[in-house]
Amino acid sequence: DKFRLVYMYPITFISIYLYILNNRQSDLINEYVKGIKKIFNFQLIIILFFSLLEIVMGDNLRKIIYKGNFDKLHINLLGEQGLRIVSIIGNPINLSIILSLGIAFLLFAKKGVFRYFIISLSISIVLLSFSRTSYLIILIIFLMYIVFNRKSIRKIIFVVTIPIILSIYFFTNNTMTDKVSLVIKRVNTINVDTLNNNIRIDNWKLYIENTVANNPLNFLWGSGLGSSNSDSSQKVDNVYIVENSYVSILGEQGVIGLTMYIAIIILTIIRLLRLRKIKNQYTILLVILLSILFGSLFNDLYVNNPFSQYFWIIVLIVNIKIKINIYEQSKEKRLRINLN
């Protein structure tokens, strides 16, 4: 499964990239993007529906959906049983990050009043996932929205305040008031002291020390796929719970692999910024990419679906669009020269 996520996605998308460019199928990538948007919209609605159903039904719904895997769900936290929402995703962190990206999609790629209701609902569900990483991702998304729309103060005030007001209303509902103190308690743990004493940091150090730090060959090429794992339920000997994409890549694929991965990221961001100057619609891809990259600091998102898929889809779209844009500019330049 890890081989598929780390290697097969890039190979598949490279094949698509070469096919579209070699056959000059520029319209194909546009249809591809439209299809992705429709699928993402549908997924978001389904996930929110089952999240609301889970709030009402609790463990009864979880047992129907997950059956024998119910006991493996990470739903207990802060001394409370069944506290965290998992919807149909099966993991509260994955659920909350998907919804966070959905919020970004609604903010930057959608219009209309109804989106504020969906954004507010998504924020509320993310809060009930009790994922600190997603809390920070949502904050970063709204900050990026403010930065990219800083010339329109009215728009910023409207877009930021309406979802907050609706989310507060959601939590002041009689059935949700008992969750407020728990959410506040969770938010209060987002500080430097918690980061310093976080077991994840210790796991990162231990993993690096035991895989690449004292082995020059592993330092360059890594210790191979499978030496890190973000799923504690599948822990075996010589496999470390890392929960950091960059540390995992360093341990599994060495400095060479990490350098290549970072180079792809930097190149994609640079090209996204260039595309954004041409069409503002590429802002959403930039925001989603940066959100995934931030989330990767605290989770192995590079081997975690759908985030691994999202990452390579963005890389594919951006590089195809840049190449098509360069080709069209070159074609126009040759045409002008011939006319002259």
Q: How far from 300 is each of 74, 200, 204, 249, 337, CA to CA, in Å?
A: 16, 12, 12, 9, 51
Give pLDDT tens digits for 117-160. 899 899 989 999 999 999 999 999 999 998 888 877 777 787 77
Whether 137 and 102 have beta carbons less than 8 Å apart is answered as no
Whether 243 and 279 have beta carbons less than 8 Å apart is answered as no
Give pLDDT tens digits for 91-101. 999 999 999 99
- At 320, the pLDDT band (50, 70, 90 cuts) reads confident
Give pLDDT tens digits for 187-201. 888 887 776 677 788
Long-range pairs, 206-211, Cβ under 8 A, ≥24:
206/240, 207/240, 207/242, 207/247, 207/248, 207/251, 208/247, 208/250, 208/251, 210/240, 211/240, 211/251, 211/252
| Separation of CA 64 from chain center | 27
Reported pTM: 0.89
Q: State both tokens at 237.
A: 């000997």
Quote the pLDDT of residue 187.
Answer: 85
